[in-house]
Amino acid sequence: MKQIIIITGHNNFASGILSSLTMIAGVKDNIYAVDFLSNDNDDTLEDKFNKIIRDNKDSEILFTCDLMGGTPFKVTSKLAFTNDNYEVVTGINLGGLIDTSMKLDKMSIKELKTSCKDASIKSVIPLEKIITKEEKESNEGI
């Protein structure tokens, strides 16, 4: 069964992250961006999803959202509860999305969901500044 990813989020989050993904990983025919704009509501957002769903009948879908609790998350969760072939990951980032896009059609949709979550978490890495004793001494003056 074909798998697709639908990225969604507030304002231009989805189209922006898809633009970055395309620059880094190339064009992907099975990844869609659905922006939740200021003039949208639950119904208009769901209509946008349903158009993609109709165009990809019988596909497994991984919805990826910007943050938990917002309208994009709420609407995608509602859709996921209506179909066992739909899964949702929220808190997506570019690192997680790049990794996940490379794994489409290589594992079950439930495994893909878990992999997406794990890759997103692993891609958040704080910079650790380590200053050696020699560097510190050389910066203390003449």
User: What pLDDT, on the 0 to 100 scale, is given for residue 129?
Assistant: 87
Confidence of residue 67 (pLDDT cuts 50, 70, 90): very high
pLDDT of 131 higher than 90: no
Q: Report the SS3 class of residue 7.
A: strand
- What order do you get walking across the sheet with 60-65 strand by strand? 31-36, 3-10, 60-65, 86-90
Contacts of 38 (CB under 8 A, 6+ apart): 11
- Average pLDDT of every residue of the chain: 94
Q: Report the CATH fold assignment for 3-138.
A: Rossmann fold (3.40.50)
